[in-house]
Structure 1
Amino acid sequence: MIGLFNMMRNKRLFVLLIGLILFIAVMGFSLSDRKDLTWPEKFLNDTVGYVQQWFYKPAGYVAGLFEDIRTMRELYEENARLRTTVASYARDKSKYNRIEQENARLQAKLNFTEEQKNRNNYTYMIAQVVSVSPDAYNRTFKINLGSRHGLKENMAVVTEQGLIGMISSVSPFTANVIPITELDGQSVNPKFISATVEGKEEDSFGIIESYNIENGQLLMSKIAEEDPLTEGDVVITSGLGDVFPVGIVIGTVTSHQVGDFGLTRTAFIEPAAEFDKLSEVLVVKVPEAAGDAE
C-alpha cells in the first residue's frame, strides 16, 4: 500500500515537472523574435477582439449619450442666459428710449419757460393731467396741483405750444382747468380773452370770446377797422383784464372779415396748442400771484 502511494506521488511530480517544462518552452517561444503569430495566438486574438467589440460599441454609445446630454444641458443653459440677456437688453433699451424722450421733452419745456421768463418774468409749475371730464357740456380736466402748491382760480394754463385755458376751481391738492375751447361769451368766467398781435401790440387789439366747434377755431371780435391784423399773424394775450398774463401765444390768424354792423372786423384764430391727449401742462404764476401765494 505504501509502495502504491509512493508511485502515485512520483507520477504527480513527474506530470508537474513535464507541465513546467512545457510552460517554460511556450513562454520562451512566445517571447522569441517572431514575425508571425501561431494559430492558437491568432485564434485567441480574434476571439478576444470579437467579444470586445460587443462590449466596446455599447460602451461607446452610452459614453456618447452622456456626452450629448451634457452638451444639450450646456446649450440649454447658454440659451437661457442668452434669453435673459436679450430680455435685459430690450428692457434697458426701452428704459433708455423713455429717458431720452423725457429728457427731450423736459429740455423743450425748459427752453420754453426760460424764454418766457426772460421775456415776462413768469414762474411756471409743471402739472400732470389726472382726469378729463366725460361731460360733453363741461370739458374740464383735472391736474395734480392745488392750493397747497400756490394755485388760485383764473390762473392761466399753457403748454409749450400756447394757451390751453384757465383754472376754474381749486382744491388743496388738485385743480380743475377749463380749456379756451369752452369759451361761449356767456357762461364761462372770464367770458373773453383780451388779445393782440405779436409785433403789433400798440396798434392791434381784439377780444376772443367764443370757439367754433365746426371749424375748430377761436373767434376774435371787436377788431377796429384800421387794425393792422392780417392772415398769418400770431395772436397773443394782451394782459388787459387782469386775468391772463401778457405775451402768451393763443394762435394764428387764418381769416378775417367785416363784422356784423360794418364798424369792426372779426377774425378766426387757429389755436396754437393741441387739446387732444393732454398729459402735462404748465400753470403760469405771475410775480403778484407768486407773492400772494407766499
Structure 2
Amino acid sequence: MFKLFNNKRLFILLITLVAFIVLMGFSLGQRKTLSWPENFVRDTTGFVQKLFYKPAGYIAGLFEDIGNLHDLAEENKRLKILAAQYARDAAQLNFIKAENEGYKKDLKFTKAQANLYNYEYHIANVVSVTTEPSNNTLVIDLGAKDGIRLNMSVTSIDGLVGVISNVSNFTSTVKLMTMLDIYDPNSQPPIAGTVFNKEDKTFGMIERYDQQTGRLIMNKIPVGDPIAKDDIIISKGTGGVYPRGMTIGTVEEVKKGEYGLTSTAIIKPAAGFQDWKELFVVFTEERVE
C-alpha cells in the first residue's frame, strides 16, 4: 500500500515536470498569437494602467502649463521692457539725427558766408517770441558775456531777420524786420540794398515792412537801375549797421515811385519770420573782441 502511494506521487511529479517543460518550450518558441491567459493578463494590465495614466497625465500637464504660464509672463515682461527701451532709443536717435542734420546745414551756411564776406557767425537758440503787432521781437540765449552788442545783425539760414535791440548779460532781444518803418522813431534804421551780381549797378533803401501784404518796400531806386523781377536783394553794407551781403529777399515787382523820379521794388522777405529754433548773430570784423 505504501509502495503504491509512492509510485503515484512519482508519477504525478513526472507528469508535472513534463507539462512544465512543454509549457516552457511553448512559451520560448516563436508565436504569432498570444494564448488567452496572456491576452487576459495583458488587457487587464493595460486597462488598469490607462485608468491611472490619463488623470496623472492631466495633472502633470496642468502643473507644466502653470509653469509655462509663469515663464511666458516673465518673458512678456522682459519683452515689454525691451520694447519701451527700443522706443525710447529710437526717439532719441531720430532727435539726434534731426539735430545733426540741422547742424550740418548751419555749418554749411556759416562756412559759405564766412568765405564770402569774412564774418563770424555765432549760433543762438531762440528762447521766446513776441508776436504783438507793436512789439514783434524775440529773445536769444546770447548776451553781453558772449560779445553781443546793440545793432548787430541777426540772420537765419534763409535771410536777414533783424537787429539786436537790447542786451543783457545772458540774453538779447532781436527786433524783427517786420518792425521796419522809417516813420516810426522806434524802428531800426533802413537797409541799404542792392541786387546780387549787380552790386555796382543797383541801389535802393529798404524803408519799411508792409504789415498787410507781408512785403518789404525798397524805395529811392534811381531811374535806369537794372533791378528786375526775381532779382535777389542783399544788403549793400553802407550805413554801419547791416553787414554787406546779407540776403534780404526776392523782387516780386518793380514800379514807378512818386513823381516818376525813382522806382519802388516790392520784395518778398527770404526769412519766414516763424518757427525759428536757431539763428545766427553776425560778428563783423570790427566788432569781434
Coarse TM-score class (shorter-chain normalised): 0.7 to 0.9
Of 82, 85, 91, the match for 1:85: 82
- How far does the alpha carbon of each residue in 1:227-286 deviate from its partner, in whole angstroms, 9 at most, with x for none? 111111111111111001001000011001111121111111111111111111000011
Q: Distance in 2 between matches of 1:96 and 1:211?
A: 41
Aligned to 1:16: none
Letter in 1 for 2:59: V
Q: Distance in 2 between matches of 1:271 and 1:79?
A: 56
Aligned to 2:194: 196
| 50-59 vs 168-177, which moves further | 50-59
- TM-score w.r.t. the length of structure 2 is 0.83
Superposed displacement of residue 93, structure 1: 2.7
Superposed, 1:76-155 pairs within 5 Å as 76-155=73-152
Does the aligned pair in 1 maintain the 2:181–2:187 contact within 8 Å?
no
- TM-score w.r.t. the length of structure 1 is 0.82
Q: Distance in 2 between matches of 1:141 and 1:122?
A: 23
- How far does the alpha carbon of each residue in 1:53-88 deviate from its partner, in whole angstroms, 9 at most, with x for none? 232111100111222233333333333343333333
Superposed, 1:1-294 pairs within 5 Å as 32-33=24-25, 34=27, 39=37, 46-185=43-182, 186-291=184-289
Superposed displacement of residue 132, structure 1: 1.1
Q: Distance in 2 between matches of 1:249 and 1:162?
A: 5
Identity over aligned residues, as a percent? 44
Q: Distance in 2 between matches of 1:42 and 1:97?
A: 76
Superposed displacement of residue 117, structure 1: 0.8
Superposed displacement of residue 32, structure 1: 3.4
Letter in 1 for 2:186: V
| 249-258 vs 182-191, which moves further | 182-191
Gaps of 5+ in 1: 1-20
Superposed displacement of residue 44, structure 1: 5.8
Gaps of 5+ in 2: 1-12
Does the aligned pair in 1 maintain the 2:179–2:187 contact within 8 Å?
no
Q: How many residues align?
A: 266
- How far does the alpha carbon of each residue in 1:143-184 deviate from its partner, in whole angstroms, 9 at most, with x for none? 111001100111000011110001110000000101101112
Q: Distance in 2 between matches of 1:189 and 1:266?
A: 20
Superposed displacement of residue 112, structure 1: 0.9
Letter in 2 for 1:120: Y
Superposed displacement of residue 134, structure 1: 4.5
Does the aligned pair in 1 maintain the 2:251–2:268 contact within 8 Å?
yes
Q: What is the root-mean-square deviation in Å for CA atoms of aligned residues?
A: 2.4
1:108 is paired with a residue of what secondary structure? Answer: helix
Letter in 1 for 2:199: E
Q: Distance in 1 between matches of 2:132 and 2:115?
A: 39
Superposed displacement of residue 113, structure 1: 0.6
Q: Distance in 1 between matches of 2:151 and 2:162?
A: 9
Q: Distance in 1 between matches of 2:156 and 2:275?
A: 12
Q: Distance in 2 between matches of 1:196 and 1:45?
A: 112
Letter in 1 for 2:97: E
1:140 is paired with a residue of what secondary structure? Answer: strand
Q: Distance in 2 between matches of 1:274 and 1:136?
A: 16
Q: Distance in 2 between matches of 1:188 and 1:158?
A: 20
